[in-house]
Amino acid sequence: MNLLILSCGTRNKVVQYFRKAFGEEGKVITTDCSPYAPALYEGDHHYVVPRMTETGYIDVVFDICKKEQITGVLSLIDPELSLLAKHEDDFKKLGVRVIGSSYELCERTLNKWEMYLWMKEHDYPCAKSYISLEEFKKDYREGKISYPVFVKPAKGSASMQISRADNEEMLDFLFSRGDFMMIQEFMAGQELGIDCYIDLLSKEVVSIFAKKKLVMRAGETDKAISFKDETLFKKVEEFVVENGFTGQIDIDIFENNGCYYFSEVNPRFGGGYPHAYACGADHMSLIKNNLCGKVNEKIIGQYEEHKVMMKYNEIMIIEEK
């Protein structure tokens, strides 16, 4: 039973947690397109591979799966999730399970506008959004929305590309910086982060971890505190099941006056997942169980609350070859 982690980048903790979960029962293999990705060197074996956009990349991944006798594969970056889902049948022929959601869902979450339309259609509270500058200005003149607003690419995963516009001049400038931009209502209230695992075999939500974000830096959670809320758990479970997600997902939610506004979904391990793990939400062991053919029992909310996570920098030194 061996696991392949693609595009590991700087997610050292994720690789470490998997190695601890697998122990002597299997190996964790890592890949990245850069030899200077520190998480590469946390794996039992590692491979420097072409960029995922290069021709023949998926064949390189297939070859690694054969050589290392891989049982399960996952990626830590959004664009690659769709690629894995697209080739799910090819992986199955190699005896490899793709740990993730369907191609349709991976594409929907990567396209923030499509995700917004889905949430509106299914009556989930969410921030009012626009891809038409003219439509936004019309609603502004009619008092249906006000400044400030956020402007960001409608497709992609880089949260650090989000910019705030406080007036029309700033909005026009920010909106002109891309071909497919999205304007989003400013959400007041408490921003929350959810780490969720949906069993690959039973398709049931088996674990939900919630945190209140205290400080953000470069688009990621820098400081946060764990908490529990049964109403939130039920809303998240309903949302996840109705979408049809499987495997690990990361959800951003805003809480305002007791209402939960769903924002973005990443069907992978988020940068803040180590907080969940440190509090007892061990999703690596849940994945290991699934790869062994074992269905996980529900452990929703079974973690320590009131635990504060504070990120800090570490370094890795390797020998240049």
Say yes or no to pLDDT of 156 above 80: no
pLDDT over 60 (residue 214): yes
Residue 170 structure tokens: 């700033």
Q: Domain locations in the chain? A: 2-99, 128-185, 188-310
Dihedral angle, C-alpha 82, 83, 87, 88, nearest 10 °:
-40
pLDDT at 205 over 60: yes
Given 2.60.40.1180, 3.60.10.10, 3.40.50.20, 3.40.50.980, which CATH number is that of 2-99? Answer: 3.40.50.20
Q: What's the rounded Cα separation, in Å, for the pair 36 and 8? A: 11
Query: Mean pLDDT over residues 144-167, rounded?
Result: 86
Q: What one-character-per-residue DSSP string does 262-304 give?
A: EEEEESS--TTHHHHHHTT--HHHHHHHHHTTPPPPP-TT-S-
Structure confidence at residue 101 (pLDDT): 97
Average pLDDT of the segment spanning 61-74: 98
Q: Which two tokens stand for residue 159?
A: 């949260």
Higher per-residue pLDDT: 217 or 8: 8
Q: What is the mean pLDDT of residues 238-245?
A: 97
Token pair listed for 38: 């520190």
Confidence of residue 321 (pLDDT cuts 50, 70, 90): confident
Predicted pLDDT of residue 287: 98
Under a CB-based contact definition with an 8 Å cutoff, are residues 28 and 2 in contact? yes
Q: What is the pLDDT of residue 162?
A: 85
Q: Quick: pLDDT tens for 128-137.
A: 999 999 999 9
Q: Which residue in this structure is represented by tokens 């002597």?
A: 24
User: What DSSP element (H or E) covers 106?
Assistant: helix 103-110
Q: CA distances (Å), 37 to each of 22, 41, 144, in order?
A: 22, 8, 46
Query: Is 80 exceeded by the pLDDT of residue 121?
Result: yes
* CA 124 – CA 118 distance, rounded (Å): 9
CATH number, span 128-185? 3.30.1490.20
Q: Which of 105, 112, 61 is nearest to 267 (CA)?
A: 105
Mean of pLDDT values over 155-165: 76
Quick check: 32 and 38 in contact, CB under 8 A? no
pLDDT bucket at 160, cuts 50 / 70 / 90: low
Query: Which range, of 35-49, 63-77, 150-164, 208-222, averages the lowest pLDDT?
Result: 150-164
Mean pLDDT of 245-267: 95
- The CA distance from 88 to 65, in Å, is 13
Take residue 83 and report the two structure tokens written for it: 């690629």
What does DSSP say about strands 308-310 and 247-256: parallel, antiparallel, or unpaired? unpaired
Q: What would the mean pLDDT of 250-256 be, rounded to a whole number?
A: 95
**Crossing angle of the two packed helices 168-175 and 133-141, in degrees rounded to 10:** 170
Per-residue model confidence as pLDDT tens digits over 258-292: 899 999 999 999 999 999 999 999 999 999 999 99
Q: Which CATH architecture has domain 188-310?
A: 2-Layer Sandwich (3.30)
Of residues 239, 215, 211, 216, the one with CA closest to residue 301: 211
Confidence of residue 220 (pLDDT cuts 50, 70, 90): confident
Task: Say if residues 21 and 46 touch (Cβ distance below 8 Å).
Answer: no
DSSP secondary structure letter of residue 159: G
Mean pLDDT of 43-63: 97
Provide the pLDDT for residue 242.
97
pLDDT tens digits for range 283-294: 999 999 999 999
Residue 90: pLDDT band with limits 50, 70, 90: very high
Question: Is residue 158 scored above 60 in pLDDT?
Answer: no
pLDDT band for position 217 (cuts 50, 70, 90): confident
- Residue 150 near residue 183, CB atoms below 8 Å: yes
For residues 34 and 220, give the distance between their C-alpha atoms in angstroms, rounded to a whole number. Answer: 22
pLDDT of 320 reads 85
